[in-house]
Structure 1
């Protein structure tokens, strides 16, 4: 048997295993005639894209063996789960990590039974699949993941099979531009294989229907050298693919050596549902949308359909592919690369195996000096930029900072003292901080930044994604998928922990006065809190030193999604570094210098989370101290939002006894919150005294206005907080009617000043704590 015959045998074996996963409950080797009881009661899965994926795996394995090439695959077509699982079982890695799914007839039976079966495995590429770093449950992100995996992996080739339905998505269309960010000297290579089988679930695909010359020009316009492999006859397409891959990998070498500037890519045209039933019930199936899911759907009650299923599966000639024990025959096994060169066993696809801790400077060295709390100001993210500058310098190959053209805007510009923005396209004399190999990744696509970072983290590196708070919503769905990946991976013993996905959200809702309503939305926090408590963390450091402590903690963490919300504008310095460390370790705590209840029960608790809500809470406490000196006020600041939940709901949750001691069970709590108020109610609804909790926060009131007017629009301002205290502390309403009216008048005076002068009152914008 020659090489192409062995490749064809591997392909047939993978196709047989894929169809078996969709259909068979028993009789895995068809050693007896197929009967209805051998077929699963519910037929779930997707056939249409699977043969093309199997075809790519079979041919890529030859390249790995012949070149001793380090390679991983990303299966972009979301419904290609049968192929990825079949591939890893044929390579033997599936049985390594799941010994009960052995490489024999008994293991094949278990392989088939578990697919899309209760208590089994999903129908798409998932964390459970060895060799995968790409969740196939959602389309559009495969190519971004592939490039993220290739950054700082100079010996790695990432083969990315892109479905033509997936290619219609916006994130995928943007991802073609990622080749402008690859440094051939220090990065690996991505080989995009655009798999055009012509159809989505029920419709033709755009790229499959445009003239081939136009498609080639499109890919050339993106900067690639496209190669077309097309056909229906397997023998012909095998020859074309083998020849094309030899050419493509020579061209990859040329780009890596500097003799060419254009990376190759492949356009693979094969029929949807290739090698499956040609027709069913007189209607065409192979090469049409009808092959997308289960081509033969009524095999239990239609004898002809059952017979057609048996003919289809026997067409792969399983007796030639598996021996009597169910083990793949030597000619099939001979196509599989050795050891860790198997794509399904690559350590790059289980990035925790390669992960090294970051070399982190001592964050305390960057501390803001605080002689007295709330009397001086610093810019938190600007100070953090100095820390990140040194993180980059100390970790030149394992850390990247990503953002959609907002690193400088979010005041992290100190990083450009040691690195540049990654850029491998044209540069002009007027450009600044652009260079191949830069550690800062900026492109005006949140999707691409997120995808790059996910690919980078899942292959064993570290990073930070900084974004304007309102526009991180663009990746809500991508965040959801990554959080689900982490949650699933934590339950899989052979998956090693990876570095956390860290978000820094700045230019936030309360200081977007120049951009206005479109830029004012703190709702990403609500999205994050929807995910499992084992995965998500939300931090709202109120000043510079708490931000430094929080950032250090997040950069050291594993297997989480950490969201840090911090302002870039000057904010009051509230704590020394020692105090900030203790406060962040607790996650929340009393600010004793702002409180007047020491040694007694408070009359009211002023709680706050977020830098601007904390500022307004402190200013309100100052007003209460001056106007109601006998009122006992406790000021509580929350950094770690998850501390508000009970321990039964989140690992960071506070025990009830500690929560009750801090917030009381019967006193009014006025909570000034960075985000939407109902999130706090959602986190605390089980707590004692919840009926006494009154939350102020963003209530979808915004415009282009001054910072304090923005606070007043949403009733988080100091004057309104004092009014809330008067309204909610028993006995104050009648006694403090004059003060309440004065606070309302102060609000009107402040608004009138903004309308006349275009800025806030100096006593508001320059307010500090008077000790």
Structure 2
């Protein structure tokens, strides 16, 4: 069936069943007419920016229409998104006026519809921010404008989405759905900062955005800044109506009033400039009222923060209708509204008519915007949307705390998480305003509660945790935790995200998009360093036997490993002292994605503080207490807390049943050292790799994650055929901890069997002259005894986790 066209402008939503009285919830303010010169400047800025944005999508030459437009002036590949641009430009023009009229205001502009890069870049060029950061390339000159337009979405120019190359950006434009959470993270502990966050109505359909509306409930106005959410309702996604575009004012007002907002709806194009500017001034006044009360010790309980809902047609000011298709006010304007402009005379004519309607030569003369265009801009460069230092060079290093003050005795049993909680407690005390922890309601379960010895949770809608400066935010949305961490980090502070191992995969793509932003940022000369983002992954599959198969999933390791080598860091510290050393290092590191994996249950402490420091510095070492002194027949490698214990237990078992077998035990704490030298800066040299793992002996890895991950890491190392990997293989249930080891083939018995077979295959004389089957039978009998005990008693044998003795 043919596509049913929707008339323009957007039709009003169908009437709802909600009572008209709900409209009383919407904020009504006096709309004062703007002065004529101000309105003219706003319109001029909008026209100039809309022209530039459209030209960026289409033109390769004749960028100001100084001659008749011809097909040769059109780019061969038309890339970009037009539909959202006019609304984004409208908002940007009013934010500039808001800055001009409020000299004490520090404002960051976060654009959720990041595919609207032409709008952002056009406004940034007009305000001179591109000239500041790209001098000689995107100056306020004819050449600078030509470069901006002709290089957009071509190799060497700006990409079609907002990214770290975009001045003022603290949000990756491809991250549809995360802008709001990032904005709230940015204002935490930034009391003078306001973030105006544009949320597209398509973006607003995503799960991350749906949870982020509740972030106002975690903002303490005494210590933090504020976010002005601007829901931009233009009615369409790529090819479908949006949910919010089909909601009337009553429905939208009821929804967001229920969330805790004061809702101001801006609609109607005739007076939209008057209305939008009045609404922004109202929002700023409401923010300052809430903050003033809190900062004077008279906080408003559950303050109703302002938000703006702005309705404009999709692709507003663009072509109305082309080739029988409605463009403005329909999904046809979402990307390139004239996709055949370079080959169709009809569409070329439509493009010429469209671009000419802006009268760009009245607004830009000699390559510079005229006074009427720039009159609305703030006078100070550093306050312009693209030049606030908070957005590009904000890093504040933490005051360090000596991790060795929290170490425990070698030979004891301790929980990595409980001990680390004490370190973090001290770090929070030393840095009361520059570090936060974002956790999906798992702090107590993950045994990090020592953090709360000198701080509390920060949840403003709870009478027991509001207005107390708490460093901990717990919310069951992993998306919010990730978004908060990104915004907090990108504005210069340090954050930690502890989580159950199995559920970090929920934010896999958010982490990847963030790492893309940081990768580009490192290549941009004018951007400064950032603290690394830090994940603590615990409640691991090996000790999630009580929750069952659903909680057994170490896949986030692979997500981090897939990042560029300069970003990815994966650590599996084997005991509490090593965990302390690793966390301390990660908190002071910059520009990385750090993943630290450990157990919350008490486990043996193998290394003294000095030994732990050396071990973590090297990334791996031979554990002599469990190893033969002679050249080994086989090398056993543990990577991860629980599987390392099984590796040590295997060495003790082999010493009992085959005393002549010479075994070396190696622990790896920095996973990246195993990569070939050319693939990671932490990689061991060939010589050091041989020193650890010998040149030709069998090497058996007992690995915490999926075996294919480690096999991929080892690929490229010499003589890799002598190496084998066992790890988690998607076998689990509600069972006992040791049964989880057996089910996944990483128990001491499985490793002993692998070792005996590997040695028998390479040099059978090392097996005391006995047959392989005899040794395997001994191992098999022990396995059967343990399985029978577990089946009968419903628990593991009492001595199964006793530290092995090496006499």
Q: TM-score scaled to structure 1, two decimals?
A: 0.96
- SS of residue matched to 1:550: helix
CA distance in 1, matches of 2:697, 2:635: 7
Do the aligned partners of residues 643 and 319 (structure 1) sit closer, same or farther apart at CA in structure 2, a change above 3 Å counting?
same
CA distance in 2, matches of 1:543, 1:86: 53
- SS of residue matched to 1:729: helix
Structure 2 match to 1:357: 397
CA distance in 1, matches of 2:672, 2:276: 53
1:423–1:436 Cα contact (<8 Å) kept: no
Is 1:521 the counterpart of 2:553 in the alignment? Answer: yes
CA distance in 2, matches of 1:678, 1:434: 46
Which of 569, 585, 595 does residue 537 from structure 1 map onto?
569
RMSD: 1.3
Pairing of 1:341-380 with structure 2 (within 5 A): 341-350=383-392, 353-370=393-410, 375-380=411-416
CA distance in 2, matches of 1:67, 1:299: 43
User: Per-residue displacement from partner, 1:38-75 (whole Å, max 9, x unpaired)?
Assistant: 11111000000011000000001111111121000100
- SS of residue matched to 2:498: strand
User: Per-residue displacement from partner, 1:257-316 (whole Å, max 9, x unpaired)?
Assistant: 237511000000000001000111122110000000111111122222112111111211
1:608–1:673 Cα contact (<8 Å) kept: yes
- Which ranges of 4 or more aligned residues in structure 1 deviate by more than 6 Å? none
Is 1:297 the counterpart of 2:339 in the alignment? Answer: yes
Return 29-38 or 616-625, whichever deviates more: 29-38
Do the aligned partners of residues 426 and 591 (structure 1) sit closer, same or farther apart at CA in structure 2, a change above 3 Å counting?
closer
CA distance in 2, matches of 1:571, 1:601: 29
Quote how far apart the aligned CAs of 1:632 are. 1.2
CA distance in 2, matches of 1:32, 1:616: 77
Which of 213, 220, 223 does residue 183 from structure 1 map onto?
220
Is 1:741 the counterpart of 2:785 in the alignment? Answer: no
2:626–2:806 Cα contact (<8 Å) kept: no
Quote how far apart the aligned CAs of 1:583 are. 0.4
Quote how far apart the aligned CAs of 1:721 are. 1.0
1:473–1:524 Cα contact (<8 Å) kept: yes
1:182–1:437 Cα contact (<8 Å) kept: no
1:276–1:312 Cα contact (<8 Å) kept: yes
- SS of residue matched to 1:762: coil
Structure 1 match to 2:659: 629
Return 517-526 or 654-663, whichever deviates more: 654-663
Quote how far apart the aligned CAs of 1:435 are. 4.8
Is 1:310 the counterpart of 2:337 in the alignment? Answer: no
CA distance in 1, matches of 2:88, 2:64: 22
Structure 2 match to 1:384: 420
Structure 2 match to 1:141: 178
Which of 690, 703, 726 does residue 673 from structure 1 map onto?
703
CA distance in 2, matches of 1:264, 1:116: 36
- SS of residue matched to 1:490: helix
Quote how far apart the aligned CAs of 1:734 are. 5.7
Quote how far apart the aligned CAs of 1:251 are. 1.1
Q: Return 5+ residue gaps in structure 1 as ranges.
A: none
CA distance in 2, matches of 1:696, 1:524: 18
- SS of residue matched to 2:677: coil
Structure 2 match to 1:332: 373
CA distance in 2, matches of 1:384, 1:223: 36
Pairing of 1:724-735 with structure 2 (within 5 A): 724-730=754-760, 731=764, 732=767, 735=771
Structure 1 match to 2:643: 613
- SS of residue matched to 1:515: coil
User: Per-residue displacement from partner, 1:369-411 (whole Å, max 9, x unpaired)?
Assistant: 11xxxx4211111000000001111111100011100111111
1:403–1:466 Cα contact (<8 Å) kept: yes
- SS of residue matched to 2:208: helix
User: Per-residue displacement from partner, 1:227-256 (whole Å, max 9, x unpaired)?
Assistant: 0001234xx111111221122211111211
Q: Return 5+ residue gaps in structure 2 as ranges.
A: 1-35, 294-298
1:499–1:558 Cα contact (<8 Å) kept: yes
Pairing of 1:649-728 with structure 2 (within 5 A): 649-728=679-758
Pairing of 1:44-83 with structure 2 (within 5 A): 44-68=79-103, 69-83=105-119
Pairing of 1:153-172 with structure 2 (within 5 A): 153-172=190-209
Which of 49, 71, 87 does residue 123 from structure 2 map onto?
87
Pairing of 1:205-604 with structure 2 (within 5 A): 205-233=242-270, 236-258=271-293, 261-323=303-365, 325-337=366-378, 338-350=380-392, 353-370=393-410, 375-427=411-463, 435-596=467-628, 598=629, 600-604=630-634
How many residues align? The count is: 756
Is 1:123 the counterpart of 2:155 in the alignment? Answer: no
Is 1:39 the counterpart of 2:79 in the alignment? Answer: no
User: Per-residue displacement from partner, 1:679-723 (whole Å, max 9, x unpaired)?
Assistant: 111011111121111111100001111111100001100111111
CA distance in 1, matches of 2:805, 2:267: 73
CA distance in 2, matches of 1:712, 1:540: 21
- SS of residue matched to 2:118: helix
1:157–1:191 Cα contact (<8 Å) kept: yes
Quote how far apart the aligned CAs of 1:768 are. 3.8
Q: TM-score scaled to structure 2, two decimals?
A: 0.92
CA distance in 2, matches of 1:302, 1:521: 54
Do the aligned partners of residues 655 and 770 (structure 1) sit closer, same or farther apart at CA in structure 2, a change above 3 Å counting?
closer
Return 149-158 or 485-494, whichever deviates more: 485-494
